[in-house]
């Protein structure tokens, strides 16, 4: 399939099967972050399909051209978890592995807490459990690093700044934060059109709605990867993550890794992910 629908919206998705002759595959759903798109997972998808998994990588709400609501309330986490279930249902996957990066990780944590019965495993890249992040906001320099979240609450101005000079400023900021030039160019290409940035920025504007519903502890086998050179997420936030996982948990700090782990550290992430998916099924996943 190349699209799925939910709540009147049409989402684009890349559906990549394993090689012919593979046994009935488990499904892996990959959720991108800001300002990425489904192609941030291309390299990791190659590894996962070769290992026998079916991989679904959607362009999320605000990114898919057919799923760009204008209202901030449409980006409440409680509504966007429904997008994930709708994708899995359309694919015929009652249970699946869920992987998220950045905002996709934040969404994945909510899915895991809300519907653990749907997940075989959870993998979060860069962004820890929302309660660990909130804790770090008052116990570390996380609030200073997250200043842009407050700035994105403003109307129209964030889109104006991000689209300035055809997205040039955004491209430069992404490269400074460790993203490769090719990926930065692709994401900045979207920023060149101010109207196309409204949906992505609305993920930040939906934060007040998310704060009304604290995310509970996660009980599914969980892998959390964080880059030691991440400019947006502090070590304190990363290290606090395990407090909010009651199931088998593995924390992997990637030495020298930036915030952009799917693109910058795809080989390392793919290897860790493949191990985690296998361990989640065999029952040997756990805390190192």
* Residue at 64 is within a domain: yes
Domain interval for residue 222:
3-138+210-285
C-alpha span between 11 and 116 (Å, rounded): 24
Let me know if 71 is exposed, middle or buried by CB neighbors in 10 A (0-12, 13-18, 19+). exposed
Q: What is the pLDDT of residues 206-260, one digit of tens each?
A: 999 988 889 999 999 999 999 999 999 999 999 999 999 999 999 999 999 999 9
User: Where is 46: in which H helix or E strand?
Assistant: helix 42-50
| 46 touches 18 (CB < 8 A) | no
Q: Number of folded domains in the chain?
A: 1
* Residue at 216 is within a domain: yes
* Residue at 169 is within a domain: no
* Residue at 110 is within a domain: yes
Q: Which residues contact 154 (CB under 8 A, 6 or more apart)?
A: none
pTM exceeds 0.85 for this model: yes
* Residue at 55 is within a domain: yes
Q: Tens-of-pLDDT digits for all 288 residues of the chain?
A: 999 999 999 999 999 999 887 777 899 999 999 999 999 999 999 999 999 999 999 999 999 999 999 999 999 999 999 999 999 999 999 999 999 999 999 999 999 999 999 999 999 999 999 999 999 999 999 999 999 999 999 999 999 999 988 999 899 999 999 999 999 999 999 888 899 999 999 999 999 998 888 999 999 999 999 999 999 999 999 999 999 999 999 999 999 999 999 999 999 999 999 999 999 987 766 554
* Residue at 170 is within a domain: no
| 262 touches 45 (CB < 8 A) | no
Residue with tokens 């995310």: 215
DSSP code, position 24: S
For strands 9-16 and 3-6, give the pairing. antiparallel
| 155 touches 189 (CB < 8 A) | no
DSSP code, position 273: H
Is the link from the previous residue into 277 a cis peptide, with omega within 30 of 0? no
| 113 touches 218 (CB < 8 A) | yes
The CATH number linked to 20 is 3.40.50.1820
* Residue at 193 is within a domain: no
* Residue at 162 is within a domain: no
């Amino acid at each position: 399939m190349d699209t799925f629908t939910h709540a009147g919206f049409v989402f684009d998705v890349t559906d990549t099967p394993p090689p012919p002759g593979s046994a009935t595959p488990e499904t892996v759903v990959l959720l991108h972050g800001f300002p990425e798109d489904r192609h941030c997972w291309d390299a990791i998808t190659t590894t996962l399909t070769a290992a026998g998994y079916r991989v679904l990588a959607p362009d999320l709400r605000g990114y898919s051209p057919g799923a760009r609501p204008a209202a901030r309330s449409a980006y409440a986490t409680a509504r966007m978890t429904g997008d994930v279930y709708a994708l899995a249902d359309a694919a015929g996957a009652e249970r699946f592995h869920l992987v998220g990066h950045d905002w996709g990780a934040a969404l994945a944590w909510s899915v895991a807490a809300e519907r653990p019965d749907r997940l075989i495993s959870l993998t979060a890249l860069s962004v820890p459990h929302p309660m660990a992040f909130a804790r770090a906001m008052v116990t570390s320099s996380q609030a200073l690093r997250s200043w842009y979240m407050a700035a994105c609450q403003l109307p129209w101005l964030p889109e104006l700044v991000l689209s300035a000079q055809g997205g040039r400023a955004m491209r430069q900021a992404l490269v400074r934060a460790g993203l490769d030039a090719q990926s930065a160019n692709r994401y900045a290409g979207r920023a060149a059109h101010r109207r196309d940035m409204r949906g992505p920025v609305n993920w930040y504007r939906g934060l007040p709605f998310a704060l009304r519903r604290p995310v509970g502890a996660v009980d599914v086998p969980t892998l959390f990867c964080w880059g030691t050179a991440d400019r947006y997420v502090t070590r304190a936030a990363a290290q606090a993550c395990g407090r909010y996982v009651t199931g088998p948990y593995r924390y992997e700090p990637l030495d020298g890794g930036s915030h952009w782990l799917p693109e910058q550290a795809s080989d390392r992430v793919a290897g860790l992910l493949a191990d985690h998916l296998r361990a989640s099924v065999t029952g040997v996943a756990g805390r190192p």
